[in-house]
Amino acid sequence: MKIISLVSFKGGVGKTTTLQMLSSALLARGHRVALIESDDNVPLNQWRENARQQGTWDEALDIFPAGSAGAVIEAMEAAEAAGVDYLLVDTHGGGSDLNNAVITNSSLVIVPTAITSADLPRTIETLAYLTKVRKTEGLDGSLVLAILITRLPLVVNKSRQDEIDALSRLPVFQTHVRDRDALARMERTGLLHLTLAQREASGSKVSATHFKTAMRETLELGDEVLTIVERTS
């Protein structure tokens, strides 16, 4: 089982959106996927309930609750025993025993960031923290860290492109998460690939095209993640 976690010291950078995208991408590729819910506000459980109401949830997608470092380890063990291929974890902001338990058991840690003056310094801070944890725990050969650019406008101006180019010296995903309405609405509409199938079945060409573009980019991100984690030991 491979564990993929999302970590950032700043909120509102798209961690949950990225987790939702990866859930759809990996399920659509035929993998067994599970999630760990560590947020007291239970956004993942709310997402599941919304999706069930829309008929866009896959009941094979388990959510394991975990509010402490010990509970995280138990959830990981339960997921592995259940035959899960990929376990996705959305962490709290900042450093904590819970987050460290997630990080040190991960194959890949994704650091989402928007390209803004408020987000980028916290992204660098997050990456520095993760790099220190990786070195301290002797995980240089097994834990991959990578920045994911999120909430990127469909049209990128020169100043944003300059910021993107400046990040190229760091480990950064080639795939970017665009600021698309279909992605922003996943919290209400459910799993993206099932929403797309639903819209196509209804004959709504305009809506289906909108979701198809988002799904294509979601699969691109998922495939890049799979390529990375399959190279880890």
Q: pLDDT tens, position by position, for the chain (233 residues)?
A: 999 999 999 888 999 999 999 999 999 999 999 999 988 788 999 999 999 999 999 999 999 999 899 999 999 999 999 999 999 999 877 678 899 999 999 999 999 999 998 899 999 999 999 999 999 999 998 999 999 999 999 889 998 999 999 898 999 999 999 999 999 999 999 999 999 999 999 887 777 888 999 999 999 999 999 999 998 86
Question: In the prediction, which pLDDT does 18 show?
Answer: 97
- Distance separating alpha carbons of residues 161 and 23, to the nearest angstrom: 29
Instruction: Render the burial of 46-63: b for 16+ CB within 10 Å, e for the rest.
Output: ebbebbeeeebbbeebbe
Give the H or E element holding residue 181. Answer: helix 181-184
- Distance separating alpha carbons of residues 162 and 164, to the nearest angstrom: 5
Please state the φ and ψ torsions of residue 107, each to the nearest 5 degrees.
Answer: -90, -30
* CATH number attached to the domain at 2-229: 3.40.50.300
List, in sequence order, every residue forming a beta bridge with 147; answer none if it has no partner: 111, 172
* 44, 100, 174 from 150: Cα distances, Å: 19, 23, 12
- How many CB atoms within 10 Å of residue 70? 12
pLDDT tens by residue, 37-90 = 988 788 999 999 999 999 999 999 999 999 899 999 999 999 999 999 999 999
**In the block, which residue shows the tokens 């998922």?**
222
Question: In the prediction, which pLDDT does 233 show?
Answer: 65
- Distance separating alpha carbons of residues 53 and 188, to the nearest angstrom: 9
Residue 166, classified by CB atoms within 10 Å of its CB into exposed (0-12), middle (13-18) or buried (19+), is: exposed
Predicted TM-score (pTM) of this structure: 0.95
What is the 8-class DSSP label of residue 144?
A: E
